[in-house]
Structure 1
């Protein structure tokens, strides 16, 4: 891993995801792993990007102006090089041209962490991979929630988590690994 060009992109680590409306989640250690990555990037002066979801849905706890739109405590005091919002799943389709921002700085690879594993994190990893970035997906620095399909069958958060790892790995979009492996390679 060449750390001089590897950014850390942290997706949607927002208080609104603590609301019970989301249902059962997995990976209770995700926030600690996110914090460990952020701390390591800050200690080394590496680029950090923080992205927040600005929901347009009425009543959403992730809407701008709502308490739930704010970052979680694990990101308090983070020295981010870029902070921006998005209204869709991919951070590459947000309020800022993330692709342009990364390319202008010569950044060709990034580590991805955040919420939700199978939505905004997976989508950002897929788009990043399609754009030619070397994407490292810190699976244990993400979490998600149980989700019902169109037939009413519910997939657990752990099943969705594993499906994302399989999709990203099998599709060649990202290297799926752990926080420990990433920190050990810095």
Structure 2
């Protein structure tokens, strides 16, 4: 075992938000499950990461009951489930210790959000010396309002605003920023074929 699949923040917290209706990748859970199945078949480590914001009273507050994986995703026995409070999966968890203890040097990253927790984890992982594969079509994100846009607008108003950064543009920017610098970009089809073919 030298490779680990990091499943980042594929949790109910996001589905509880109105913006979920504008998610970039409605097939996310199915694609993540394909990666998980392939990683398990190859005897690679699967690490589940959840994001928590204790004491905030929002969807990411553990007291909300929403800081849990989206069904039917489910850890198998022995697969670590880590809870982070930072954007990347390393800083506030013992992820590095899990990887070091197993001699893992290659990371495969999927989850939510493409340009936030997934990209940040990829950058930190690369800086720590891991070979990172970023599976963009097994990540998801949402349109981002302009910094001067008023708070509390409806999803329809957000999407109608020409200043809103579209999810497709966020995904493209993330790939441009990561490729050749911090990660290799792969698809679920490419990666599941490569893992199964090992």
Question: Structure 2 length normalisation: TM-score?
Answer: 0.85
Unaligned 5+ runs, structure 2? 150-162
Q: In the TM superposition, what is the alpha-carbon distance from 1:42 to its structure 2 partner?
A: 1.9
Between stretches 65-74 and 47-56, larger displacement belongs to: 65-74
- Alpha carbons 1:49, 1:80 under 8 Å: kept: no
Distance 1:66 1:7, change over 3 A: same
Q: Given the alignment, which residue of 138, 152, 155 partners 2:165?
A: 155
- Structure with max Cα Rg: 2
Q: CA RMSD in A?
A: 1.6
Paired residue for 1:37?
35
Residue 87 (structure 1) aligned with residue 85 (structure 2)? yes
Please give the alpha-carbon distance, in whole angstroms, between the structure 2 residues aligned to 1:6 and 1:76. 19
In the other structure, the counterpart of 2:74 is 76
Give yes or no for the alignment of 1:167 onto 2:177.
yes
Q: CA shift at 1:20, angstroms?
A: 3.5
Using structure 1 for the length normalisation, give the TM-score: 0.90
CA distance in structure 1 between the partners assigned to 2:108 and 2:142 by the alignment: 22
- Closer, same or farther: CA 43–35 of 1 in aligned 2, 3 Å: same
Provide closer, same or farther for how the CA distance between residues 81 and 25 of structure 1 changes in structure 2, counting only shifts above 3 A. same
Per the alignment, in what secondary structure is the counterpart of residue 91 of structure 1? coil
1:48 touches 1:82 (CA, 8 Å); kept in 2? yes
Q: 1:55 aligns with which of 53, 56, 71?
A: 53
| 1:18 and 2:15 aligned | yes
**Structure 2 residue aligned with 1:177, among 163, 186, 195?**
186
What do residues 9-44 of structure 1 show as CA deviations (whole Å, max 9, x unaligned)? 100010111124335211111111100011112223
Structure 1: gaps spanning 5 or more residues: none
Preserved contact between residue 11 and residue 113 of structure 1 (Cα < 8 Å): yes
Counterpart for residue 153 of structure 2: none
Quote the residue 2:140 is aligned against.
143
1:107 counterpart residue number:
104
Q: Helix, strand or coil: the match of 2:121?
A: helix
